[in-house]
Amino acid sequence: MRVLHFYKTYYPDSWGGIEQVIRQMCVGTGRLGVRNEVLTLTRNGGPELMEIEGHSVHRVRLDFEIASNAVSVASIRKLAHLAEQADVIHYHFPWPFMDLAHFMARVKKPSVVTYHSDIVRQKTLLRVYTPLKRSFLKDVDSIVATSPNYLASSQVLKRYEGKVTTIPFGLDKSTYPEPRAEVLEKWRARCGERFFLFVGVLRYYKGLHILLEAMARNGYPVVIVGAGPIEQELKQHAARLKLGDKVIFAGAVEEEDKVALLKLCYAMAFPSHLRSEAFGISLLEGAMYGKPMISSEIGTGTTYINIDQDTGLVVPPSDVSAFDEAMRTLWENPQLAADMGRRAEQRYWSLFTAEKMAEDYAALYRSLLARS
């Protein structure tokens, strides 16, 4: 069986949560006999075809972007060509240009959409885009919600409930590198023995201003891993709050460094406050490494990963006082934090392995082929 994934960004150009999910899908279903290909856009040039961990990555030039909507005219013809050779087309939503490309390439193969997130911020463009979005979601054969929480809270998904199934994201711990002793020591020397950790692209919906303001009240050390469009804004905010060396902006790091920090950290601080944060892959990484978590209740997969008072603490969104109190509770109660971390890892092994996700997607692919 050949499956073609289509999304605007992928390795090696970008290392975000959706890219990680697509990678885990490709590697996991590849072990079950699925031949995966990814069609993506690039602004960096380089080879048009790459092999990454057993799957092919086709890269076409990005022409321009409008409100984070990447456009590539060449990708339409490439999609049409690759779709002819594929058995199933796997789209990753949201990406409005993808919807248009689907119709312009006249894709008629069985199709599935992983619905990563509602469109939250671009209200004006959303009104213009809605007719195309509805046509696209109506035309595809199956839609996958990434958590029961998101299915229950998304007004868009409720319109297509009859063809929506839920498959949570999963991670394969064996694909994460084991950090060398010298790497662990490097980060231990820089960050200290106890610190909260955030990992992710620095975007508006991550709520990092909430975390910084909570830090200004409690003074606990925090390491922020990642780069992104609001990085300088956050650094300026930290300076205004006089956080000094209490906050470490580590920037984008290699996988080995990220794993070292996941192993060393005391707990995960994940303050995302808007529904654009539909799941929280780095939150799941924290659970995978047995860390207690603090997150916000935004009606998405973050609260499917992190269960309040069980695997961590869940607070109201945009509530600095509540986030501060949650940090204090974990910091001042090491046994409670350790117990929550242990249960978080147990929940990962029960629900969120890449093997389970791959089996569910492979079964969905087979059912789509059988129906067609």
Divide the 372 residues of the chain into consecutive groups of 10 and give the mean pLDDT of each group.
97 86 95 97 93 97 91 97 98 96 97 91 76 96 96 93 94 94 98 96 95 98 96 98 97 96 98 92 96 97 97 98 98 98 98 96 97 86
pLDDT of residue 123: 65
- Mark whether 167 and 202 lie in a shared domain: no
CATH code of the domain covering residue 231 = 3.40.50.2000
- Mark whether 83 and 229 lie in a shared domain: no
- Mark whether 339 and 359 lie in a shared domain: no
- Mark whether 188 and 337 lie in a shared domain: yes
As to burial, measured by CB atoms within 10 angstroms (0-12 exposed, 13-18 middle, 19+ buried), residue 85 is exposed
- Mark whether 327 and 205 lie in a shared domain: yes
Strand 247-251's sheet: what is its strand order? 247-251, 222-225, 196-199, 267-269, 293-296, 312-315
- Mark whether 243 and 101 lie in a shared domain: no
Phi and psi for 122 in degrees, rounded to 5?
-85, 75
- Mark whether 29 and 136 lie in a shared domain: yes
Structure tokens at 190: 């820089």
As to burial, measured by CB atoms within 10 angstroms (0-12 exposed, 13-18 middle, 19+ buried), residue 24 is buried
- Mark whether 195 and 336 lie in a shared domain: yes
- Mark whether 136 and 182 lie in a shared domain: no
pLDDT of residue 44: 87
Residue with tokens 């456009």: 71
- Mark whether 285 and 136 lie in a shared domain: no
Q: Are strands 164-166 and 196-199 parallel, antiparallel or unpaired?
A: unpaired
Start-to-end C-alpha separation, the chain = 14
Residue with tokens 């949650």: 326
User: What distance in Å separates the CA atoms of residue 299 and residue 57, rounded to the nearest whole number?
Assistant: 33
Give the range of the structural domain holding residue 135, as residue numbers without chain letter. 2-172+353-371
Neighbouring residues of 39: CB distance < 8 A, sequence distance ≥ 6: 4, 5, 6, 7, 58, 60, 75, 78, 79, 82
Q: Is the pTM of this model over 0.85?
A: yes
- Mark whether 159 and 193 lie in a shared domain: no
> How many domains, the chain?
2
User: What distance in Å separates the CA atoms of residue 96 and residue 344, rounded to the nearest whole number?
Assistant: 35
User: What distance in Å separates the CA atoms of residue 291 and residue 294, rounded to the nearest whole number?
Assistant: 10
- Mark whether 96 and 142 lie in a shared domain: yes
pLDDT of residue 122: 67
